[in-house]
Amino acid sequence: MVEDQEGVVVYWRPMCPYCMKLRLRLRFTRLRYTEVNIWRDPEAAAFVRSVADGNETVPTVTVAGRAMVNPSMKQLMEAVAA
């Protein structure tokens, strides 16, 4: 699992339409972030379950260590700015 307390980490899984939308929109920003596929990283999947009421709800994003489950692009950018 990626433990990045300073930056942005996007937890995702293949075939998730919400993940695809957020990841595509992020590519058009200057924001530096790390992507973690929860299907390839059991620790990352466990982390997502720990912050999403036991579910593997993605995208889950951490900003400076603070987790947000399925944030909108606006919520994500506001968290980064804060």
Q: Quick one: 81 exposed, middle or buried, by C-beta within 10 A (0-12, 13-18, 19+)?
A: exposed
pLDDT at 2 over 90: no
* Residue found by looking up tokens 């399925």 in the block: 70
Q: What pTM value is reported for the model?
A: 0.89
pLDDT digits (tens, 9 = 90+) for 72-82: 999 999 998 88
Q: In this model, does residue 3 exceed pLDDT 70?
A: no
3-state secondary structure of 71: coil
- Domain 8-81: give its CATH superfamily: Glutaredoxin (3.40.30.10)
Provide mean pLDDT across the span 43-55.
94
Portion of the chain with pLDDT greater than 70, in percent: 93
Backbone angles phi, psi at 38, to 5 degrees: -70, -15
